[in-house]
Amino acid sequence: MAKIKLKQIGSPIRRPEAQKKILIGLGLGKMHRVVELEDTAEVRGAVRKLPHLVQVVEG
């Protein structure tokens, strides 16, 4: 299955608890951390909820 690379570009400080939990679920939580995950509908939905905190990295 295809992979997707995500980079955290925003701080979880002063964000709702639900957004913090989504970040942790994606394997993020600290600034500029990059993770590689399976490209599933669940991951894409989580990224859509946090466009101000997460960036899709190409390559």
pLDDT tens, position by position, 1-57: 899 999 999 999 999 999 999 999 999 999 999 999 999 999 999 999 999 999 999
Residue 49 confidence (pLDDT)? 97
What six digits make up the tokens of 54? 């997460």
**Domains within the chain, CATH numbers bracketed:** 3-57 (3.30.1390.20)
Decide if 18 contacts 52 (C-beta within 8 A): no
Decide if 8 contacts 54 (C-beta within 8 A): yes
Q: How far apart are CA 5 and CA 45, in angstroms?
A: 14
pTM over 0.95: no
Write the burial class of residue 26 (CB in 10 Å: 0-12 exposed, 13-18 middle, 19+ buried): buried
